[in-house]
Chain A
Amino acid sequence: MSRSALVAVGVAIAGLGVLALLLAGSIPVLHVRGDPGPRAVPVVSAVVVAAGATGAAAADLRRLPQGERISPASLVVALATVACVLFLSRLGFVVATALFVALVSLYLDRPRRHPLAAHLAVAAGAAVGLWLIFGRLLGVTLPAGPLGF
């Protein structure tokens, strides 16, 4: 990761700590003798997060860039995963899973080493297999789309 990206992550975490600290102020304090209340641990941990992450970001600022850049493949797969969850209810488990597995495996298999049929077979097999195991065998109610599964 580049130095600026490292610092950005540190700043983001510090920002999370500051935000948590501000929000913790709205937690009601109900007094029982000796009890520091429901606000204490959130405040202390938020302070540690904010201060610690600021220090870590400052240390990263002084460091040379290290490690590899983030691969575009990882970012694409991350976006696809988010999309899969967003469309899980609308498409149904089987369709969403089959689409996700097929598209991601085709994307990652570049240059193509396996035939298209293999990708589609694995996608379909995984979707149906998991539906049978979780939906039928284990009794988990899976999202059903317009096709009923």
Chain B
Amino acid sequence: MESILKGLAFVLQPTTLLWIVVGDIVGIFIGALPGLTATMGLALFLPITIQLDSLTGIALMLGLYFGAVTGASIPAILFGIPGNPNAIATVLDGLPLARKGQAGVALGGAVIASLIGGLISTMALLVASPALARFSLLFGPAEYFALAVASLTIIASVSGTSLLKGVVMGAVGVLLSTVGIDVMTGAKRFMFGNPYLANGIGLVPVLIGMFGITQALEDAARPGGVGEMVTQRLGRLFPRLAQLRRMWRIILESSWIGTLVGILPGAGASVAVMLAYERARQLSERPAEFGSGRLEGVIAPEVANNACIGGGLIPTLTLALPAESAAVPILAALVIHGITPGPLLFSFQPHFIYAVVFTMIVANVTTCAFQLGGIRLFVKALSVPPAMLTPLIIVLSVLGAYALNGWIFDAAVAVGAGVGGFFLKRAGYPLIPLILGLVLGGMLESEFRRAMIITGGDLSVFVTRPLAALLLAVGAISLVRQLAVQRRPAAGHVR
């Protein structure tokens, strides 16, 4: 009880609240700007947190983290550009909702979903950390490989009208992920003597290009464009309570998907949001409408991506193992401040854990409050005629890609991805599987090869290990089901 009160007392101090708010606002700004990721923001602010005491520094970082993850939904819904990779799935139904004049409902729904997901995973952090940490240890190379394959096959089967084209795009993504220096052997692959490709094709430039520039090129052909529709018809800001109540199962399952996937090191929010999206589609009363503006298609991934924050902090705090890149600066901040993450943290410094938990609750709530309060402001700031908005989106996309490393090469990759993505999309080749292949290809290959090294080349490991077999079966079922749906006369499909 003393530890709980100590933790609560810390959070209620005015300086703590101030720094959480600063983190929120900066985080929302970072999340809403394509090219600026949560990881980048956290790394940029690490020097500032060092000047503060340990808990205040962590409070700033958590505010920034929540802000960036939640803020990424703004451009995803309004422009079809995910501010972060964790908002990929939000685009699928968020942009169509905005086009139908329900941008407000989508934005408000995304914020509420983020709040719920963040709160549930925070409770999981508090209650189930040791057990969940043990669950994460069950995942070996075979399971990670199977998880990557399952994610890719699920998304290939839900994106677009042609299953074959979805699979091809997933394979293109995996192929592109092999560009660069092989981390295991140092072999150079598809580099053509270009040193910029040593670390592979950048995910963020491709993401920005395929979502931002591709969308802008499509909008160039549309007289009204997106911007005009969005600014004229923001409409109501919240989904109806009855709508949210009907989604209770989607919300609950998405939060668990986000929490569980979040604790798996390397898996990342982009996997969680896709799994949550697919699960929401299975649970929905109208699965065929996914991709054309179903609110569940926004709620599920937004619940999951915020749930990943709490989930991701579990291995970070209990095992000193950052679950994804954004947790690395947080871990660094802990170590710099002399706090040793690990199982003993719960025993010897429980007040720290409670302080982190209460900080996460406050950061989650204040982020959502600021974002909700600012929705009309964001949209008002974007009340630019479509003819002017299109080149602005392109410039922002190019600049976002350039800003990563200061390389023109990244800007060129974004433009290449954008123009290529435009033609692919028009030809019916979905882009999401390609992006996910690029995201997961590295993990898929490295875990497959690790599994093979461990077993001496025995492929049966993927069926003899129950979790791996289960995950592969889930992927296979998704493919078979989509094949059956496409063969039916009035096929239901996602855009």
Contacts and interface: CB of A to CB of B under 8 A. Distances in A.
A9 B429 contact: yes
B128 interface: no
A85 B413 CA distance: 10
B428 A38 contact: no
A114 B426 CA distance: 30
A49 B408 contact: no
Contact of A35 (B174, B396, B424, B453): B453
Contact of A84 (B398, B403, B423, B448): B398
20 contacts: A30-B187, A34-B452, A34-B453, A40-B449, A41-B445, A52-B171, A67-B426, A74-B218, A77-B217, A77-B220, A81-B398, A84-B394, A85-B398, A88-B398, A89-B408, A108-B390, A109-B385, A114-B385, A119-B388, A122-B388
Interface string A108-129: 1100011000110010001000
B127 interface: no
Interface residues of A, number: 72
Interface string B444-455: 110011001111
B384 interface: yes
Given A13-B172, A105-B388, A130-B395, 12 more contacts: A9-B427, A17-B171, A34-B452, A35-B452, A48-B168, A78-B418, A85-B398, A88-B402, A88-B411, A100-B391, A130-B399, A140-B402
Contact of B457 (A34, A67, A104, A142): A34
A77 B218 CA distance: 10
Interface size grouping (class) on chain B? 35 or more
B19 interface: no
A5 B394 CA distance: 25
Nearest to A126: B392
A72 to B, nearest CB: 8
Nearest to A141: B406
Interface stretch (B177-185, B356-364, B463-471): B177-185
A77 B392 CA distance: 12
A134 B399 contact: yes
Given A41-B174, A81-B213, A81-B418, A35 B184 contact: yes
Interface in B146-185: 162, 164-165, 167-168, 171-172, 174-175, 178, 182, 184-185
A74 B217 contact: yes
B315 to A, nearest CB: 27
Contacts of B390: 77, 104-105, 108
A81 B415 contact: yes
Contacts of B445: 40-41
A34 to B, nearest CB: 4
B387 interface: yes
Contacts of B213: 81
A72 B64 CA distance: 42
A122 B419 CA distance: 24
A56 interface: yes
B456 A34 contact: yes
B103 to A, nearest CB: 22
Given A113-B385, A138-B403, A97 B217 contact: no
Nearest to B183: A38
A70 interface: yes
Contacts of A122: 384, 388, 392
Interface in A55-98: 55-56, 59-60, 66-68, 70-71, 73-74, 76-78, 81-82, 84-85, 88-89, 93, 97
Contacts of B411: 85, 88
Nearest to A143: B408
Given A6-B428, A37-B185, A71-B220, A108 B171 contact: no
Nearest to B457: A34
B376 interface: no
B387 A32 contact: no
Contacts of B406: 140-141
